[in-house]
Homo-oligomer: A and B are copies of this chain.
Amino acid sequence: MDNNVSEQILQEELQTLAANGKIDSFREKFLDMHPYDQASFFIEQPEEIRLNIYTYLSPEETAGMMEHIELDDIKPLFTEMDPRYAAMVIEEMATDDAVDMLNELEKDVVVSLLTIMDAKNAAEIKELLHYEEKTAGSIMTTEFVAVYESKTVQDTMQYLKAEAPEAETIYYLYVVDEDKHLVGVVSLRDLIIAEPDMRVADVMSEKVLSVSVAKDQEEVARMIRDYDFLAIPVVDFQNHLLGIITVDDILDVMEEEAGEDYSMLAGVSDKDSPKDSAFISAKKRLPWLVILLFLGMLTASLIGQFEEALEQVAVLAIFIPLLAGMAGNTGTQALAVAVRGLSTGDYGKQGKLRLMFREASTGLINGIVCGTLLTGIVYFWQDDIYLGMLVGFSIMVILVIATLAGALVPIFMDRLNIDPAVASGPFITTINDIISILIYFGLATMFMQYLV
């Protein structure tokens, strides 16, 4: 509580200083904050105050803050900045962050920023912009320290002192031969413990894991997590060292991928943000809803086929949402378990067949329990044992098939090399609506003579 109050006082103070052009006092207070806190403050300000702040900060200071601003918020900032200043800010950023930001901007804006920039920096960034989104190449940085296997520990430590301020990390050092092939890795920890006159080649570990530039970022994240790395080197197909990926970028990748999976399960575009306006948010969600509307019409026309049965036994309609709902629920459960299993790589080769068998069995067990319960409840409620048996038996069959469907859809998608997370909850729910209605009315028609 106390903290929040003092934070708010500080924010108001900063705002006043920025609005009134008190450059020195503003700089003193502002630069005393962590760049993340600077970014949080900055992004809440109106444009006129932001424009003031740019003039108070050096491009380097702005760059440090910008690296902590969320990518969704980047575009308006680079549009309002003076292009010359914007180019300098980008030059001061870590290359991987610069590339992430440029990917958010319009193509012609990027081209004009790169033109103003120092040619060497521009070339480095252009190189990285070529890599496909969500690959190792697109998230790596080229600001790393490579050390040579033939150097001594002492020389290397000297070299580090000079390079440390620029590099993204100096705690894992990748060792290259004279042709820039990756040949080993040595941690700063090992160098500190080693004798100063040993050669790097004698201290390094030759068992260095690397990823190819084209590797999917989700797989890179999994490797870093499994092996507890602080960084991983990125190589081309001839094993030349191109860049490194550090763990702080992996945290963002994991957050992004988890958010995507979560949103897909709910049938929302992964870019649906609580900050969007109602129109934008409606536009993002409508495609799903319209697809589901048409799938729902399919369900409706299916029930239409059974209108005769419904006219004879109107009470049948009572249980439609219950059965469809249960089918949707069990399907979503099975779907989630399968998607998680596929995305964390928990399955072996025969694992998928075993999973399908297990899901069918799970559905059967749940079906027997729910079916028995439901038969009893409907019997006591409607005083009709045949209706009870129909509904109870229907739910049993529905739970087996709907559970299996929930597991099958993502496995099938994975086989087709589609991200299984695309099999969203609403989609499987609607499929299972159809399954449940076919089973329920199919059984009802078969046993119609007992119901009327």
Contact = CB atoms under 8 A, between A and B. Distances in A.
A34 interface: yes
Nearest to A278: B361
Contact of A325 (B165, B281, B299, B316): B299
A314 B310 contact: yes
Interface stretch (A121-129, A132-140, A261-269): A261-269
A265 B259 CA distance: 12
Interface string A270-287: 001111111101100110
Nearest to A282: B365
B300 A318 contact: yes
Interface string A319-341: 11110111011101101111111
Interface of A: 32, 34, 36, 68, 157, 160-161, 164-165, 170-171, 188-189, 192-193, 207, 209, 224-228, 230, 247-248, 250-252, 254-255, 258-259, 261-263, 265-268, 272-279, 281-282, 285-286, 288-290, 292-293, 296-297, 299-301, 303-304, 307, 310-311, 314-322, 324-326, 328-330, 332-333, 335-341, 344, 346-347, 351, 355, 357-359, 361-362, 364-366, 369-370, 373-374, 377, 381, 399, 425-426, 429-430, 433, 437
* Chain A contact residues: helix, strand, loop or mixed: helix
Contacts of A374: 293
Nearest to A170: B189
Contact of A254 (B171, B258, B276, B359): B258
A357 B333 CA distance: 31
A449 to B, nearest CB: 19
Contacts of A324: 321, 324-325
B259 A262 contact: no
A226 B68 contact: yes
A34 B336 contact: no
Contact of A336 (B254, B263, B314): B263
Contact of A274 (B261, B310, B338): B338
B299 A362 contact: no
A282 B201 CA distance: 55
A224, A254, A340 pick with most chain B CB within 10 angstroms: A340
Contacts of A336: 262-263, 265-266, 268
Nearest to A352: B274
A149 B316 CA distance: 79
Contacts of A433: 321, 325
Contacts of A366: 282, 285-286, 289
B335 A266 contact: yes
A251 B262 contact: no
Contacts of A209: 34
Contact of A279 (B255, B314, B337, B365): B365
Given A251-B250, A262-B261, A425 B332 contact: yes
A315 B325 contact: no
A40 B399 CA distance: 35
A189, A258, A268, A274 pick with most chain B CB within 10 angstroms: A274
A417 to B, nearest CB: 15
A437 B321 contact: yes
A322 B340 contact: no
A170, A286, A425 pick with most chain B CB within 10 angstroms: A425
B296 A326 contact: yes
